[in-house]
Chain A
Amino acid sequence: MGAQIGELTFLEVLASRFKIPAPDFVVEPVRQSDVKRKLADWGSGIVKPDVLAGKRGKAGTVRQVDDYHEAVKLLKRVAAKVVSGQQPRTAYMVQTVPADLEVFSAITYNSRYLAPSLTVSTKGGVDIESVDEADKVTVPLNVFRGLNAYQASEALVKAGLPEGKLNSKLALCLVKQWDMFSATGMQSCEINPWRVTEAGAVCACDFKATFDENNIKFRDLGFELPEYPTMVDAFEEEMNAWAASSHQGQAHVADLGGKLILPMLFGGGASTIVIETLAQAGGDPMFLSDFGGNPPYERMKKTAEICLRHKLADASLLLILGGKANNTQIDITFAAIADALQEWVDDNGPHPIPVVIGRGGPGLVQGFAVMKKTLENLGMPYVFFGPDTPITLVASYAARLAKQCAKANGGAK
């Protein structure tokens, strides 16, 4: 999942940059006198948390207010309230925009067309997944030419908004949405809803977007992305930063909250299958990992060092598992893991939990030789499997072994 932003960043930066009509707003902390003045101008406002959660997630925290005392209290309360397990960055209040029509629009890359596509619906304002497919219109876009007003207008007509002044105005707004999507390297961008009055006023009233971090335009946005408080632990945070620091070799992890097995896995497919097998067999893996992609020694050693530092002390079993590698040099990766393991034991003392290894690929036996010697030096029990044992069988075995070790009252630990 790429970097995400919500409505507040859109209001603060993108709306004005791409000339997309959007409501006025204030952001907590804000002076009472400012709130009072704004509400006097607007009539009423809507208080929202700045949090990366969908409409359903935010439900209950989004409130309409017209009294400034109430608004000030609400801004503080909403800013502090956890929403769908996430702590908001802050809270903000937007002007209430009256609407006779609410339109949904999303621009995203579409696996059916292998191209960007525009989806519109005149049943906006609600969670779009709850809208009937027949009420949504999706049209593919030429990635080179982008979206033009004619195309946008046609899509709106198909969605039930007849040609006319309103249609034209909204179509131009959709073109601006495309401009923003394209210029900033977004992967998906949703405005839900565009609030439209019969008089022809159009306003983008909620927004979310995901950037494609591989897009060169994302690297030079011209503004700093907001930093949302995350619930990820120190391990995942450190690994995410380490993974982002280089493209040489994968260093992907996702915390699973497990307690038994510390899995160092190689290959996107293999890691998925192994974690699935561990989970099915009760192996309770601590995290999902993919350390394939032929990492150089230093990269692999630091990756292993971070994993061991955060997780090894609590693990009942260390699992090092991957399929038959095409590119990854097993001798390099195993030498790096072995050295990291040696250093961990040097710093923390012996930790004789079992180590289960399964691997194939270039330099396999040399890698096994290094790892075997290190585990013997460290007094760690081990079982090694070559490429003639299926990884799923190794994973099932590791799960059973870990459970048994944990059952023996931490005997293995």
Chain B
Amino acid sequence: MIARSLSGLLKKGDRVAVSNITGREASKVSTISQQYCGNVVAGWALGKSGKWVEVPGETSIPVFGQFDEMLTQLPENRWPTKIIVYSPPDAVYGDVKEALENNRGSVRTVFVITENVSIEVTSKLRRLADTEGVDILGCNTLGVINVHDKVRVGAVGGDSPNETFRKGSACVISNSGNMVNTVASYLQSAGLGVSYGISTGKDVNILTPLKDLLALAMRDKRTSMIVLYVEPGGVYEAEAIEAIKGRRSPKPILVYVAGEFAESIDVSLGHAGAVVDGAGTSASGKKALFDDYFGVPVFDFYERRKAPKLLAEHRRGIRVNALHDLVPAATALMSALKIKRDFAPLRPLALRPWFVELGPLAKVLPRDLVPYVAPIPEPYAKLVKHYVTSSIGRVPSRQPMRGVSHASSNDGATPRIYGRSLIGLMKTGSFADTVLLYWLGQPVKHTFEARLFDMCLMAALTNGPGTISAQGAKLSASAGNGPNTAMMATLGSIGTVHGGNGSKAARVLINVFRDTDLVDPYDRAAAPDLDALVLTFVKAFKQRKKLAKEAGVAYEKVPCLGHPVFNTEAINYDPRERVIDAVMGEEKLYNVFLDFYHRLSRGMMEQCATSKVHAVNVDAALTCVLMGIAWPLLVDKKITVERAVDLPFLAFALGRVAGGAGEYLDHRDSGTAMDMRVPVSECRFLGRDQD
């Protein structure tokens, strides 16, 4: 091994380069590493030269096409000392070879993260590394973390390394990447932090075997205890114990050996190398090996008070049979060998359920099987409040969406919308039904909803040729554009204050009703106390208005109340809203949101927030109709709040773009070229001539 100390594997100041850095996992992990410790100087990926991996709040990472190009382009003091390999399995050998052959003496350690690398390639990597004089970890390592220096390579610690790893004196060496984290978090309950967390990988060939790592850990000044997670397969532990047997005062080892259950049955474990391949390589063989070395029997929780005496006598460590016994065993070991705690132990390991709902089962179960909900630690508690206890809306799960869709599919024969045949929809449904299916992910519950939506689309068609969206279509036609451009011009002429106001109204309605028990917006009897909601809303509005006026800044108006045309009376109405309201009345339909809006427009005047009753405009009506359809889905967490907020704007845009098409057709047929141009004589310059 080239490294003479654990810090030789990774320390502050080491510069890291990442192969295949633009890949899904590599770019994500590199971004988090860069935010955690800023040690990633560059990456390389064939054909990606000139790209950057953006790192929010930190230096972005440049990407080169090849390793040699990277060294040529980077100044010498930025050359990497470590490389992490995220290349696909078949490219691993070539990428490592290329890097080491063009190394120029810079790289000292290679970490191969890639899984499913062939054994032949791993053997070649070992020889290659020996020839080139570098250390190599992996394959299928998760990486290494040096906690005192606050640096890592690979993904040890996941997306929040600070949460799991506190500075301390235990060196964790694990065959499983995930177990590095898990063991480190357990040890906190014993008051033990971590000096180094090392994931060896568990392929058939572990390229840096335990004996080498153990030798470094034994020499490391920051390490006072070594904690091992071991799986069956390989002679690594036998070699390691053989190597340390002769030491006069070896550092104590705490070990957990997994996988004995598989010995009696013919099953393969998760890791490729966890395969028994000879005497002493089984879990039971390794357990016996460690027990023999320690000279003490396996840790027994119920006899834990006796452990320190035995441990003080033999001083080599102890094995545990259950992973959570690491904590009492570490405590016993520290007590026996007078090892100081790194910090006050965190709360003891115990069952701490975050959510419990056992229903009727709870009544028939013994009490110890119905655990009480425990306090949720930060930062999770805040997130739980936001995502889980928040009353409405689906929490979105994100993934790369290139070429995939929940909304549509086509198996080569049948196009589908959310799994429903478009052909079938064409035969039995309507345009409005189908658009709502596409927008909501499921068919509407009530037949009247499609009818109301249809009316909304009609209402959105036009408000005369003077509206700026109609003007957009006319301007485009006047310039000689085709229909698609004119329709884009219509869409380009709507925005948050023209057409988009409905989305603001949707957000208002969600905020007003989210803490009520409202489930069915069409049930008048179950409606919450609307007058009380209006009063609360208006009071808050007045307060905001007052504060804004005092500060001399504009205040946020109530969206969708009032209209530039329909505003001349003491009590005003938008005729398009009236039609929707009237049809609902005739059909004996109730919509709690529209009712709220009507009461709000009156309440605003009654509470002296306005001087007249403003019209509930068509955007409000449209919003209330769509919110009526969306609300049960929000309550049921079937759709996101963001989707519900977008619906009114989408409906307006869909109606208006059809209206824009009408304006275009008319203008193209009857207009003259450039007739929308404002004559020079009518244009005024508001500045001062400078020449």
- Mark out the residues of chain A between 110 and 144 whose CB falls within 8 Å of any chain B CB in the assembled complex: 111-112, 114-116, 129, 142-144
For residue B229, which residue of chain A has the nearest CB?
A: A269
Which B residues are CB-close (under 8 A) to A397? 351, 369, 371
Q: Is B466 an interface residue (CB 8 A)?
A: no
B235 touches which one: A111, A276, A323, A367 (CB < 8 A)? A111
B376 touches A386 (CB 8 A): yes
- A361-B161 Cα distance, complex, nearest whole Å: 11
- A361-B380 Cα distance, complex, nearest whole Å: 11
- A139-B452 Cα distance, complex, nearest whole Å: 83
Contact with A along B377-398 (1 / 0, CB 8 A): 1001001101110000011111
A155 to chain B, nearest CB (A): 18
Which B residues are CB-close (under 8 A) to A114? 122-123, 126, 205-207, 209
For residue B182, which residue of chain A has the nearest CB?
A: A323
A142 touches B358 (CB 8 A): no
Q: Known: A143-B120, A247-B116, A361-B158. Is A324-B351 also a contact (CB below 8 A)?
A: no
A212 touches B118 (CB 8 A): yes
A185 touches B120 (CB 8 A): yes
B324 touches A390 (CB 8 A): yes
B231 touches A272 (CB 8 A): yes
A interface, by DSSP: helix, strand, loop or mixed? Answer: mixed
- Mark out the residues of chain B between 151 and 168 whose CB falls within 8 Å of any chain A CB in the assembled complex: 155-159, 164
- Mark out the residues of chain B between 235 and 282 whose CB falls within 8 Å of any chain A CB in the assembled complex: 235-236, 239, 256, 258-262, 265, 267-275, 277, 279, 281
A45 to chain B, nearest CB (A): 31
B102 to chain A, nearest CB (A): 20
A144 touches B361 (CB 8 A): no
- A325-B169 Cα distance, complex, nearest whole Å: 23
- A182-B185 Cα distance, complex, nearest whole Å: 44
- Mark out the residues of chain B between 327 and 367 whose CB falls within 8 Å of any chain A CB in the assembled complex: 349-359, 361-362, 364-366
Q: Known: A214-B118, A247-B115, A368-B388. Is A270-B358 also a contact (CB below 8 A)?
A: no
Among B122, B349, B397: residue with most chain A CB under 10 A: B397
Q: Is B178 an interface residue (CB 8 A)?
A: yes
For residue B140, which residue of chain A has the nearest CB?
A: A268
B90 touches A400 (CB 8 A): no
B164 touches A324 (CB 8 A): yes
A268 touches B271 (CB 8 A): yes
Q: Is B25 an interface residue (CB 8 A)?
A: yes
A365 touches B383 (CB 8 A): yes
Q: Is B323 an interface residue (CB 8 A)?
A: yes
Q: Known: A297-B399, A367-B397, A383-B355. Is A325-B158 also a contact (CB below 8 A)?
A: yes
B205 touches A109 (CB 8 A): yes
Q: Is A344 an interface residue (CB 8 A)?
A: no
- A216-B204 Cα distance, complex, nearest whole Å: 17
- A301-B268 Cα distance, complex, nearest whole Å: 23
Pick out which of these stretches binds chain B: A74-82, A162-170, A172-180, A331-339: A331-339
Q: Known: A111-B205, A385-B354. Is A391-B118 also a contact (CB below 8 A)?
A: no
B241 to chain A, nearest CB (A): 14
- A204-B471 Cα distance, complex, nearest whole Å: 89
A268 touches which one: B117, B235, B269 (CB < 8 A)? B269
Which A residues are CB-close (under 8 A) to B523? none
Q: Is B472 an interface residue (CB 8 A)?
A: no
A323 touches which one: B117, B155, B181 (CB < 8 A)? B181
Contact with B along A355-381 (1 / 0, CB 8 A): 000001111111111101101110101
- A74-B205 Cα distance, complex, nearest whole Å: 43
- A367-B463 Cα distance, complex, nearest whole Å: 45
Q: Is A303 an interface residue (CB 8 A)?
A: no
A214 touches B116 (CB 8 A): yes
Q: Is A271 an interface residue (CB 8 A)?
A: yes
A288 touches B267 (CB 8 A): yes
B399 touches which one: A247, A332, A334, A352 (CB < 8 A)? A332
Q: Is A290 an interface residue (CB 8 A)?
A: yes
- A216-B119 Cα distance, complex, nearest whole Å: 11
B412 to chain A, nearest CB (A): 18
A326 touches B366 (CB 8 A): no
Q: Is B29 an interface residue (CB 8 A)?
A: yes
A216 touches B118 (CB 8 A): yes
Q: Known: A109-B204, A111-B204, A392-B323. Is A354-B124 also a contact (CB below 8 A)?
A: no
A326 touches which one: B116, B157, B281 (CB < 8 A)? B157
Q: Is B314 an interface residue (CB 8 A)?
A: no
B351 touches A272 (CB 8 A): no
Q: Is B404 an interface residue (CB 8 A)?
A: yes
B123 touches which one: A115, A273, A381 (CB < 8 A)? A115
B315 to chain A, nearest CB (A): 27
Q: Is A153 an interface residue (CB 8 A)?
A: no
A83 to chain B, nearest CB (A): 14
A368 touches B355 (CB 8 A): yes
A143 touches B127 (CB 8 A): yes
B269 touches A272 (CB 8 A): yes
- A28-B5 Cα distance, complex, nearest whole Å: 62
B185 touches which one: A372, A383, A387 (CB < 8 A)? A387
B127 to chain A, nearest CB (A): 6
Q: Is A43 an interface residue (CB 8 A)?
A: no
B89 touches A247 (CB 8 A): yes
B120 touches A331 (CB 8 A): no
- A234-B159 Cα distance, complex, nearest whole Å: 38
B277 touches A111 (CB 8 A): yes
- A142-B395 Cα distance, complex, nearest whole Å: 55
Contact with A along B15-54 (1 / 0, CB 8 A): 0000000001100110000000000000000000000000
A383 touches B358 (CB 8 A): yes
B398 touches A332 (CB 8 A): yes
Q: Is B322 an interface residue (CB 8 A)?
A: yes
Which B residues are CB-close (under 8 A) to A250? 270
Which B residues are CB-close (under 8 A) to A1? 268, 275
For residue B179, which residue of chain A has the nearest CB?
A: A269
B111 to chain A, nearest CB (A): 14
Q: Is A394 an interface residue (CB 8 A)?
A: yes
Among A214, A272, A329, A361: residue with most chain B CB under 10 A: A272
For residue B176, which residue of chain A has the nearest CB?
A: A269
Q: Is A215 an interface residue (CB 8 A)?
A: yes
A385 touches B353 (CB 8 A): yes
Which A residues are CB-close (under 8 A) to B268? 1, 252, 254
For residue B389, which residue of chain A has the nearest CB?
A: A369
Which B residues are CB-close (under 8 A) to A369? 387-388, 395, 637
B271 touches A187 (CB 8 A): no
Q: Is A267 an interface residue (CB 8 A)?
A: yes
Q: Known: A187-B119, A362-B158. Is A273-B258 also a contact (CB below 8 A)?
A: yes
Which B residues are CB-close (under 8 A) to A412? 361
- A326-B384 Cα distance, complex, nearest whole Å: 20
Q: Known: A329-B399, A362-B158. Is A384-B270 also a contact (CB below 8 A)?
A: no
B283 to chain A, nearest CB (A): 9
For residue A376, which residue of chain B has the nearest CB?
A: B357
- A369-B388 Cα distance, complex, nearest whole Å: 5
For residue B157, which residue of chain A has the nearest CB?
A: A326
Which A residues are CB-close (under 8 A) to B204? 109, 111, 187
- Mark out the residues of chain B between 200 and 217 whose CB falls within 8 Å of any chain A CB in the assembled complex: 202, 204-207, 209
A383 touches which one: B159, B324, B356, B376 (CB < 8 A)? B356
- Mark out the residues of chain A between 240 and 289 whose CB falls within 8 Å of any chain B CB in the assembled complex: 247, 250, 252, 254-257, 266-273, 275-277, 279-280, 288
Which A residues are CB-close (under 8 A) to B158? 324-327, 360-362
For residue A330, which residue of chain B has the nearest CB?
A: B397
Q: Is B636 an interface residue (CB 8 A)?
A: yes
* 13 cross-chain CB contacts under 8 A: A109-B123, A111-B281, A268-B274, A269-B258, A275-B261, A277-B323, A280-B261, A296-B400, A326-B177, A335-B397, A366-B396, A369-B388, A386-B376
User: 19 additional contacts, CB 8 Å, given A247-B116, A389-B349?
Assistant: A111-B273, A115-B126, A116-B123, A185-B120, A252-B270, A267-B177, A267-B179, A268-B270, A269-B182, A276-B260, A297-B397, A324-B158, A360-B181, A363-B397, A366-B396, A370-B394, A381-B359, A383-B356, A401-B369
6 tightest Cβ-Cβ pairs between the two chains A and B: A269-B176, A268-B270, A290-B270, A254-B267, A111-B234, A335-B397
